[in-house]
Each structure stands twice: as structure tokens, then as C-alpha cells.
Chains A and B, each alone.
Chain A
Amino acid sequence: MKTKHLFRLILPLIVSSALFLSCSNDNDDDLDDSGSLIDLPSERTFILNEGSWGGNNSNLTFYSPETGEEIISDIYYTQNGKLLGDLGQDIISYNKDMYITVAASKRLVKLNSAGVETASLSIPAKFGDPRYLAADDSKIYLTVYGNPGYVLKINSTDLSIEDSVAVGYNPENIAYSDDKLYVSNTGYGSGNTVAVINTKTFKLIENVEVLINPNKIIETDDDLYVISYGAYNSDTWGFDDMLVQKIDEDTHVVTDLGVKASLIAGYKNTVYGIYNTTPLVKFFTYNTKTRQVSEDRFLDFTETPELTAATFYMLSINPYNGDIYVSTTDYSTNGDVYHFRNDGSFIKKFESGGINPNNAVFFK
């Protein structure tokens, strides 16, 4: 337990300096470390590595943003003595816990804020692979594949399935906003709607029409932003029309922002996007107040020139301080994670503990 010793050595230092710097930073109430085999600093970043198909090599990497030094490549294994499974699809943090869908293993797991598993759910055979997560009011909402696919309503404490509602064919991302869930009906590339579900009645209330093949969907500043991947172009070996659209939360009117993105994330009044294209990766930001799109790069690549032409796989923003985390992948070796401040300045690069780092969650 090398890391454990390391933390034991460093922890008093961190704690004392934290106390010294800000006496109000004692946030143990926001964390649940019961059953943890290791001591962890209070600021925590957990990165989900999807792994490669069939490899049972999805895992969870711990990173301490405060020092940038403590990295545990597979904290799920460290804490639970077993492996996470095959294809970790999505991770969210909700209250003091983390929830992870492991798609090919067909399971949903609940971890406390130290990565200790406290509950798990095997998705019943009648539903397809679990995909993406949203949470509100002690409920976890999960999309599962199928034709039709479903959104499952799951008790956040014991992970029991309380209800399900049918949506389109093979739904992917899901976002929550104001008693409503927004689900992209990919139709495996042929869908063109976002399903809207009322969380109170748990009924489908509308299918909002968007561009073909909707996928990523987020909520920022009370509106929804969705990327439609468009159709595959066999000449360019890619999806050329990954257009970002805004869905007005009140009217459900869809506006094309006129920019392309592979990944999006939101923080306060800003939507951030990265578009994997050749020869150079493109970036945009959208200001939700001024409704202005900027195609300036929001990250400073002076120290990381390799990022100008990389394949980005993750764009996650720490909701507590706006720090931006991106990852790159080659799909077969461990991905690299880059940590930036919200102003775009570079802090740290490290190799993740697995292949395809796709999402990060944060405890402050």
C-alpha cells in the first residue's frame, strides 16, 4: 500500500495548509468515506476509463487536483478488490456518491465518495445495455438500449428500479432540467428526436425534433444543448455535420448554433465545445447571456503542443471551480488527461489508469 503511506505522510500537510489557508474549507459533510482502505484528500477528481470492448478493463482513476501528485490508476480495484467490468459508459456524482454505468457488463454501481461500492444493480434481461445517467430528487435516471429503449427510474439509495418509460430506439445521453428529462433518441444513427419526460408523472410528454443522430446532451444555465452527429460520410471517414443545437427549456424551440462539436460541457454561462477534426482540432464557446459564439481556443496549448492535433475523448468541467479536464485517446493505450484552470492555463498532464478516459466527476 504505497499510496496509503504516501497519503498518510502528505495528509497532515494538506490538512494543516488547508486549515491555514481557509478555515471554512472543512467539508467533511460533503463526503462519505466509510469503508475506505485509504486516506484521500478532500478535493477529489475521479476519471472513468471506458476501456476497450471485451477487455473487462474499464476502471476508475483517482486524481488529487490540489497537489496534482496523487494518482491512483484504479481506485475501484484498490477499494473493492475486484474489477469494474467491461465498458464504463457514464459516471455522475450525486450528493456524496458516484454512479457508474458499465455497459457491456450490464450493471449500475453506486460508490461512495472514496470509491467504495455500496450498491449495484444488474440490468434485467428485458432491457438492453445501460448507457447514460441523470439524477434528481433521490432518483437516478438511466437510459437503456432497445427498440424502444427505456429510461429507468431508480432509487438512489438501494438502486431498486421504480419505474420505466419507453423512448426511441437506442437512447443515449440524458439531461435533467426543471422536472424534465431530455433524452437523445439516436435511432442508432437514424433518429432525429429528443424525448422529453416529466419526472413527476414519469410520462413522455413530447418528442422534440432535432437534426439527425442526436447524441450528447447537457443542461447549462437552464437551457439544453444537444449535438446531432449527422450521417456518416464514407469519403471522409467521419461525421461531418456534428452540429450543436440549443433547445429552449420553456418553449422547446430548437436553434442551430452554427458550430460543430464532438464534445460539449457547460459551466455557469458558458457552453464549451471541442470538435475532433483534421488537420487541427476546433474549439468554441457559447455565452448563454450574450448568445455569442466564439471559435477561439479556450485552452492554452503552449506547454502541450501535441493537443492541437489530438483526438479528444473527454471534456469535463469541475462545477465547483470551473477547472477544465480533457483527455486524449488512441483507443488502444492508456489515455492522457490534461488539467487546465478555467482561464485556460495549463496545470498538469498525466496518464490515466486505462483506455479511453471519457468522463470525470468531482468532490471539492
Chain B
Amino acid sequence: MLKCLTTILIALLCCLSCVLRAQTDDGVQSREKTKVDTLQEVIVTEKRRANTVRIAQPLQVVSKEEIAAYGYGGVADAVRRFSGVAVKDYGGIGGLKTVSIRGFDPNHTAVSYDGVVVGNTQAGQVDISRFSLENIGELSLSIGQESDIFQSARMLSAAGVLNLKTEQPDFLSGSKEALRAKIATASFGIVNPSLRYARKLGKRSAFWVDATYLRADGTYPFRLKNGNITTKEKRYNSDVESYFSEANYLYQRNDSNDFRLKVYYFNSERGLPGNVILYNSDNKERLWDKNFFTQAEWQNKLSPLFSLKAQAKYTYSRSKYRDENQRYETGEQTDKHRQNEMYTSVALLAAFSRSLSASVSADVAVNTLKSDIPDALDPTRYTTWGAVAAKYTATYLTLTGNLLATYISESSDKSEVAADRHKLSPSLAMVLSPWRDVNLNFRFLYKSTYRNPTFNDLYYLRVGNRNLQPESADEYNLGITWSGALSFVKYCRITADAYRNNVKNKIVALPTTYVWKMINMGKVRIEGIDVTGAAEIPLTEKISLNLSGGYTFQKAVDVTDPTSKTYKNQIPYSPKHSYNGGILVATPLCNVAYTFIGVSRRYVLPQNTEANMVNGYTEHSLSAHKEFTYAGCNLRLQGELINFTDEQYDVIKYYPMPGRSFRLSLTINY
């Protein structure tokens, strides 16, 4: 085994005799729809598409094949192309990347990894840069919530869910083993090898492991504009080194009875380049992260009426932050944090008839935080979620409703903690499909949602405020969707949604006379339109053209205080216009893709003055790949030219993004 690996990695070509069938499709459909398939029996001839049309909640899906074809560079790069999404990217190779949906703070976005929510009770937002794209089978973003009511209660608590589904191996060719090795290299000293090994254990179970390594110098050039002067600078202290590994075990009696176990480990060290400070490029902040979790899921159809799903997860994470500066008493400051989460969920689904089903679910999580900063409280949080949901499906109508109750209490040995909090949040969604043979649908969604104050909001040094209440929001969505074929278009999909979000009791850092404090006070009104479209056009027998794109208009304004200078000003980092698109040409020779993404100008601070403005940008990229067989191995060679117009832009002001760069990768399937 090891010998084989070495051969592959060193020679980068494979001389072994077995062909593993090329990746075709893995789970583009939700589990609901795959009732007839079992793992061993999947035979895919036609590309399946996720149902994003006949669904009440705006859902966007990108599959592994699309990710590969368009040449997206990471989870964040793929996610930022979803409409209505803003990925806050603090630049650099290892920079923090968080996901905001439709003008909400990132804390309103739940990130789910293979069906289980990823928690961060300390800061409340999940850094998606720590997930590897290599083992992702599908990424999806649902606004509101998923249409599947057979979910954990916690999944219902956010304004939107980013789902990361890992790729499940298929053993179609009858071989018991599969091996995939990939080596990628890119500008700025990026080296990114990864490996996947899968093995079938008997008839019903399998296990597979993934490992990815990433390193980068991260020193990239950028152009700095200081008033009327533009200088060529270099981004320093942006290096990163990270390891990621994951092991999975699956036992599947049939499609509705399975058990899954996962063990995940991530370790990284990175420089934090910070924001560019004019006249001073000396930044020494560093961050070390370790993250371990193990999760298990068991699903069983107890009877024709009842199905049961149980999940359990344990997470341990630690981070160390270090900064060097003369202002600290010893010339440096180190902060260490350790977080633990124990989580379990049980969901029961009752399918009363073909059209009516209901579910009840209950989740419990215990979170702890230990910090070595002075006067740290080391709090423990107990959260209980309970939900009931019902779904009615008829020919012309699908109706989904649920009610979620959340109860939170906290404790600490060291000091008084926040009072217990509870929240009741209902949601209702409907899709009307008036025509049987035309896939034209109208959808409506209302959801009451909230975000809890994080440990930092409540307890962090002088900033924290233990009197905080949850920040609450109402989401409304009205949409129209269509998919079908036109004369020369094999497949076409269009969705258009208008939405409005009202945020109340927004948790903001407010300066009091002497210190900044977290306070419930902001009111934000967000109104917008999301339009997405996709089309597949066969040009000739062998050449096909795929088009996809999205556009968002968003007015997200502060409506807290009519006398304030920021009243009805666009809230920070919410562009009015954002857009993205892609063209993919598949030919027998090779596949070529062009993608672009852009936003209009944004404001850094609540007051919309020229000084607070950061310019809009458009980034264009090209990707090409070719698959071929060599010495019995299936090889894929891919190259990308990223930001080929060399646009100099910031997502967050003074966090310059890299200009033109390249990436090359070779994948070997054995």
C-alpha cells in the first residue's frame, strides 16, 4: 500500500492495471429522492440535477463536477458564487473566511458538515477556510431552511444553512479499493497534495480516509493606493501550513437504514497579515488552530410509518493567538482558547400518507470555553432545541411549517452569568405548481429566526455584556422558478426571488463613554432581489455549452435612529449589486471554463461617506482540464488562471486580494 502511494506521489503517474470508473454523480439529489437507489446499485447514465426549482426555500447547489469543471479554488471560492451570499474574505491564503446570507451577520449562517451543524459558541461564526474542497461531494446553500423536515432541530435555528456534503465513494466497477491522489501547486508558494483511499468491507459497509496538506509562503504582490499615489507592495506574514484528515465508516443495510461514523482533524498555523497600515508593514500576529471532531449518525426506518434519526458529535478545538508589540508588558501577548462541544440529536419522522408527513426532533448541546486571558469566565452553555414540523405535498402545492423552541442556560464557577434565555420561532413555506406539465412554480417563505449572543458577546473582557438578548430577525421570500427545455436548450433553469429581512435587537459593539460594549440596539432593514439562471446547450454532438449566472440587488439599511448620521445608510460591507457567472465548454479535447464574480462599491463603516467607501470589483478566471487514461490510470490535468485581468481589489478594505495567479493540478484515480 505504502509502496504504491509512494510510487504515485513521486512519479505522478500510475502504472497499475485497474480503471476506476470516472466520477459521475454522487448525491446531487437529496436523500428524499433517492429512495430506490442503494449504494451498491447506483447506475447513472444521465446527469441528475438537484431539485432547486420545485422547492419553497431558495436553494442553490453546486456539485463536485461543477466545482471541478469551473476550477473553484476552495470552499469559499465556490460558496461566494451563490447568489445572495457574501463571503467575508480577509485576504491572503489562510485568511479568515465567513459566510453572510442576504445582509445578515455571519452568525446567522449555520454551517452543516455531513448533516451536523458545526458550532462555534465563542465567536459564533465558522471559518470555512478550514474545510478542504478535495473531499466535498456537494455544496448547497438553503435560505430559510431545508425542505426536508427530517432534520435535527438545531438545523432550523439559522437564517440559512450552508451544507457541506462529503463525497461518498462508489465501487461501481466491482473493485474493492479505490485510491485517488492529487497534487496541486499554485502561485505564492502554494503546494497542496491530497489523498483519498476507500475500501469496501463486506457487502454493506465501507470505509474511506482523506488527507490534505496545504502550505503557502503567501507573500504576494499588490498595488496600494494611498491618496493619489499608487505603490507596489508585498503582502507579508500571510503564510499558512495546514493538515486536514478525515476517516469515515459507513454501514448501510439499505437506503433508509444506515450508520455513519466520522473522525475529523484539522491543524493549522498561519500568519495574520492584518489590514494594511499605511507607512507601517510590520505585523507579527500569528494563529494556531487545532480542531478535532467525531460524529455519528444512525438512521432507521422503524416501520412503514416511523423513521428515526439519531446524531451525536463531540468537538474539541483550541486556538492560540500571538502578537508581538512593544505595547505589551512583556513585548508579546498570547491568548489561548479551548472549546468543547457535546451534541446529540434525535428526530422522528412520521409519514402518514404519501402527501402528509410530520416530524419531531430534540437536540441538546453542551459547550464550554476555557481561556487564559485575565478574568476569563470559562462559561458552560447548555442549549436545548425542540422542533415540530409538518409537510403536506399535493400535486399543485407543497406546504411546510415548523415551530422551533430554544432554551439556553449558562453557568460558570467564577462569576455571575447571563440569565436563561428562550426563544420560540415559527416558519412557514409554500410552493405552488399550478401546471402539471410546465415546471413553473411560485414560492413563499416566512421564517422567524435569531442569533444567540456568543460567549465573546456576553463575557469577553470589558466588551462583553451579560444582559444581551438574542438578535432576532424575520425573513420573507417571494419567488418564481421555472425549469425546462427550449428548442435548442437542453435544460434551462431560472429562479427569481424578492426578499425582505427585518433585524431587531441587533447585537452591535457600541462605544459607551469609556469602553466599547456589546448592546442590543440596531435595527436593519434588508430588501433585495436574487435572480439565478442556468442553461445547457448542446452545440454539436460532442460539444456542449453550459451557462450559469446570478445577480443580487440588495438594499440593507440601518433604521435604528432617524436622527443619526447613519440612518438609512447602507450597512457596512453590503454591496447594492453583486453578480457572478460562468461559461463552460465541454469538448472531446478538453473542457474550458470562464467565470466571473463582482460586486459594486461598499462602505466600511456605518456612515456612507466617500472616505468610508471601498470600490467595487470584478474578478475573471479561466480554467481548463483534460481527462485521459494512462497506464491503466485515470488522470485529470487541470490548470487555472485566476483573476486574469489582474484586478486589484479588497473584499474587506485594506485586506488586498492577490492579483493574477495560476494553479495547476494533477489527479490520479486508481
User: Are A333 and B512 in contact, CB atoms less than 8 angstroms apart?
Assistant: no
User: Are A237 and B278 in contact, CB atoms less than 8 angstroms apart?
Assistant: no
**At the interface, is chain B mostly helix, strand, loop or mixed?**
loop
User: Are B605 and A332 in contact, CB atoms less than 8 angstroms apart?
Assistant: yes
Which of A101-109, A134-142, A265-273 lies at the interface with chain B? A101-109
Max chain A C-beta neighbours (<10 A), residue from B326, B331, B516, B604? B326
CB distance from B583 to the nearest CB of A (A): 38
- B232 on the A face (CB < 8 A): no
Q: How far is the CA of A82 from the CA of B325 in the complex (A)?
A: 27
- A334 on the B face (CB < 8 A): yes
User: Are B607 and A334 in contact, CB atoms less than 8 angstroms apart?
Assistant: yes
User: Are B282 and A334 in contact, CB atoms less than 8 angstroms apart?
Assistant: no
How many A residues touch the partner, as a band?
Answer: 35 or more
List chain A residues, Cβ under 8 A from B303. Answer: none
CB distance from A229 to the nearest CB of B (A): 9
On whether A276 and B513 interact (CB within 8 A), knowing A80-B227, A81-B228, A83-B227, the answer reads yes
User: Are A232 and B278 in contact, CB atoms less than 8 angstroms apart?
Assistant: no
User: Are B512 and A237 in contact, CB atoms less than 8 angstroms apart?
Assistant: yes
Q: How far is the CA of A55 from the CA of B603 in the complex (A)?
A: 12
User: Are A170 and B607 in contact, CB atoms less than 8 angstroms apart?
Assistant: no
- B189 on the A face (CB < 8 A): no
User: Are A56 and B654 in contact, CB atoms less than 8 angstroms apart?
Assistant: yes
User: Are B514 and A237 in contact, CB atoms less than 8 angstroms apart?
Assistant: yes
List chain B residues, Cβ under 8 A from A262. Answer: 513
User: Are A56 and B276 in contact, CB atoms less than 8 angstroms apart?
Assistant: yes
User: Are A56 and B278 in contact, CB atoms less than 8 angstroms apart?
Assistant: yes
List chain A residues, Cβ under 8 A from B326. Answer: 127-129, 144-147, 149
List chain B residues, Cβ under 8 A from A107. Answer: 279-280
List chain A residues, Cβ under 8 A from B604. Answer: 55
User: Are B279 and A122 in contact, CB atoms less than 8 angstroms apart?
Assistant: yes
User: Are B279 and A102 in contact, CB atoms less than 8 angstroms apart?
Assistant: yes
Out of A188, A237, A334, name the residue touching B327 (CB < 8 Å).
A188
Out of A82, A104, A355, name the residue touching B227 (CB < 8 Å).
A82
CB distance from B521 to the nearest CB of A (A): 12
User: Are B513 and A277 in contact, CB atoms less than 8 angstroms apart?
Assistant: yes
List chain B residues, Cβ under 8 A from A68. Answer: none
List chain B residues, Cβ under 8 A from A102. Answer: 279
User: Are B277 and A86 in contact, CB atoms less than 8 angstroms apart?
Assistant: yes
- A85 on the B face (CB < 8 A): yes
The number of chain B residues with a CB under 8 A from chain A is 39
User: Are B277 and A85 in contact, CB atoms less than 8 angstroms apart?
Assistant: yes
- B73 on the A face (CB < 8 A): no
- A54 on the B face (CB < 8 A): yes
- A311 on the B face (CB < 8 A): yes
User: Are A237 and B517 in contact, CB atoms less than 8 angstroms apart?
Assistant: yes
- In chain B, positions 253-280 with a C-beta closer than 8 Å to chain A are 274-280
- A331 on the B face (CB < 8 A): yes
On whether A237 and B515 interact (CB within 8 A), knowing A56-B654, A334-B607, the answer reads yes
- In chain B, positions 501-517 with a C-beta closer than 8 Å to chain A are 511-517
CB distance from B460 to the nearest CB of A (A): 12
User: Are B280 and A105 in contact, CB atoms less than 8 angstroms apart?
Assistant: yes
On whether A238 and B513 interact (CB within 8 A), knowing A107-B280, A129-B326, the answer reads yes
List chain A residues, Cβ under 8 A from B611. Answer: 57, 59, 74, 353-354
User: Are A311 and B227 in contact, CB atoms less than 8 angstroms apart?
Assistant: no
User: Are A82 and B277 in contact, CB atoms less than 8 angstroms apart?
Assistant: no
List chain A residues, Cβ under 8 A from B280. Answer: 85-86, 104-107, 122
Q: How far is the CA of A304 from the CA of B607 in the complex (A)?
A: 22
User: Are B277 and A56 in contact, CB atoms less than 8 angstroms apart?
Assistant: yes
On whether A331 and B511 interact (CB within 8 A), knowing A86-B278, A105-B279, the answer reads yes
CB distance from A63 to the nearest CB of B (A): 17
List chain A residues, Cβ under 8 A from B325. Answer: 128-129
Out of A125, A239, A354, name the residue touching B282 (CB < 8 Å).
A125
**At the interface, is chain A mostly helix, strand, loop or mixed?**
loop
- A234 on the B face (CB < 8 A): yes
- A338 on the B face (CB < 8 A): no
- A330 on the B face (CB < 8 A): yes
Out of A59, A80, A147, A238, name the residue touching B515 (CB < 8 Å).
A238
- B566 on the A face (CB < 8 A): yes
Q: How far is the CA of A257 from the CA of B496 in the complex (A)?
A: 69
List chain A residues, Cβ under 8 A from B276. Answer: 56
User: Are A333 and B605 in contact, CB atoms less than 8 angstroms apart?
Assistant: yes
- B565 on the A face (CB < 8 A): yes
CB distance from B643 to the nearest CB of A (A): 24
CB distance from B237 to the nearest CB of A (A): 14
- In chain A, positions 275-316 with a C-beta closer than 8 Å to chain B are 276-278, 311
Q: How far is the CA of A56 from the CA of B274 in the complex (A)?
A: 13
Max chain A C-beta neighbours (<10 A), residue from B228, B280, B607? B280
A68-107 interface code vs B (CB 8 A; 1 in, 0 out): 0000001001001111011000000000000000101111
List chain A residues, Cβ under 8 A from B331. Answer: 147
List chain B residues, Cβ under 8 A from A52. Answer: 605
Out of B277, B606, B653, name the residue touching A333 (CB < 8 Å).
B606
List chain B residues, Cβ under 8 A from A149. Answer: 326
A220-240 interface code vs B (CB 8 A; 1 in, 0 out): 000000000000101001110
- A62 on the B face (CB < 8 A): no
- A169 on the B face (CB < 8 A): yes
- B329 on the A face (CB < 8 A): yes
Closest chain A residue, CB of each to CB of B605: A332
- B330 on the A face (CB < 8 A): yes
CB distance from A354 to the nearest CB of B (A): 7
- B609 on the A face (CB < 8 A): yes
- In chain B, positions 457-512 with a C-beta closer than 8 Å to chain A are 462, 511-512
- B229 on the A face (CB < 8 A): yes
Out of B328, B462, B564, B605, name the residue touching A55 (CB < 8 Å).
B605
Residues on B close to A: CB < 8 A? 226-229, 274-280, 282, 325-331, 462, 511-517, 564-566, 604-607, 609, 611-612, 653-654
Q: List 6 A-B contacts (CB under 8 A).
A: A82-B227, A125-B282, A127-B326, A129-B326, A147-B329, A237-B514
Given contacts A105-B278, A105-B279, A188-B329, 6 further A-B contacts (CB under 8 A): A85-B278, A105-B280, A106-B280, A125-B282, A147-B329, A238-B513
